[in-house]
Amino acid sequence: MFIESRSSYTNENRNLPFVLCTVGEEKNQHPVDRPQGLGQHHLIIVTSGKGEFRIPGEKFILSEGQGVLWKKDLPHSYKALGDGFDTAFVTFLVSDSVFDYYQIGDQLKFEAYPNLLSSIRDLRKFCEGDSTLLTRSAEGYSWFVEWLYATLEPSIPLTARVKRFLEANYPRQISLDDVADAVHMSKYALCHYYKEKSGGTVMKELQDIRISKAKDLLRFGSGTIGDVARSCGFVNLSYFDKVFLAANGCTPHEYRVKHK
């Protein structure tokens, strides 16, 4: 288990946007009773067996693959129901504005997505390796955002989630595998579903976004055609010219002359 040893890093006067406090797993989880809560946000998932969880006014049971996020200072307790009750957990500090954005109250129950446990293990290994306060903050925040996205964003239609990912990543080289991983689907299922819902393909959507961004840069920017191509994810200038011509009926240079 990783435990952040510097108390100055985990107090309320921290300067980093995300504080990773503990990461680990507990085999044969012992009973826990925290009548004053924990001074950190606490995410716990059941990796085996079944447990009884309590907060003021509520008792519930979680089984393998289920989890709960408790915000800091929320009184809570949990214990095994039967044998083989194992858990994995992450505790951290982050701005409450994140919870406000997603309208998360004092607690959030969730179903663990397929690679959540492995991502927690990877996070622990990272922290126990050659890491620093800053890199742990960055890696922890990246993990937390992935959890938020995978847990809460599925309520947003798949096509919108795909477009959001493409809009955020169009400047870099991304593959269909990258998109599929981001929305937690196989690329084959993604292609079939996206085609059915949108009538087009994921990679054509990416190309359209890149061309749209390139048109804006050609109209309002001062970079060379090559600069525009590279900043929009095209590594080959001749391919950029070909795709742009097919989409707009003119070359990037002709488009710039016409719209400047």
Residues 111 and 224 in one domain: no
Residues 180 and 144 in one domain: no
User: Whole-model pTM?
Assistant: 0.60
Residues 140 and 197 in one domain: no
Residues 39 and 140 in one domain: yes
Phi and psi of 74, rounded to 5°? -85, 120
What is the distance between the alpha carbons of residues 216 and 196, in angstroms, rounded to a whole number? 30
Residue pointed to by tokens 């002359």: 257
What is the distance between the alpha carbons of residues 252 and 229, in angstroms, rounded to a whole number? 9
Residue 34: give its domain's CATH number.
Answer: 2.60.120.280
Residues 79 and 182 in one domain: no
Residues 216 and 138 in one domain: no
Residues 76 and 109 in one domain: yes
Q: Of 126, 154, 182, which residue sits at a domain end?
A: 154
pLDDT per residue, tens digit, the chain (260 aa), is 888 765 555 554 456 788 899 999 999 999 999 999 999 999 999 999 999 999 999 999 999 999 999 999 999 999 999 899 999 999 999 988 888 877 889 999 999 988 899 999 999 999 999 888 888 888 898 899 888 878 886 667 888 889 888 998 899 999 999 998 888 778 888 898 899 888 999 999 999 999 999 999 999 888 899 999 999 999 999 999 999 999 999 999 999 999 87
What is the distance between the alpha carbons of residues 240 and 260, in angstroms, rounded to a whole number? 20
Burial class (CB in 10 A: 0-12, 13-18, 19+), 75: middle
What is the distance between the alpha carbons of residues 99 and 96, in angstroms, rounded to a whole number? 5
What is the distance between the alpha carbons of residues 40 and 33, in angstroms, rounded to a whole number? 15
- Where does the chain show beta strands of DSSP type E? 2-3, 18-26, 32-34, 41-48, 50-55, 58-63, 66-70, 76-80, 86-94, 107-111
Domain that holds residue 247: 156-260
Domain count, the chain: 2
Residue 201: give its domain's CATH number.
Answer: 1.10.10.60
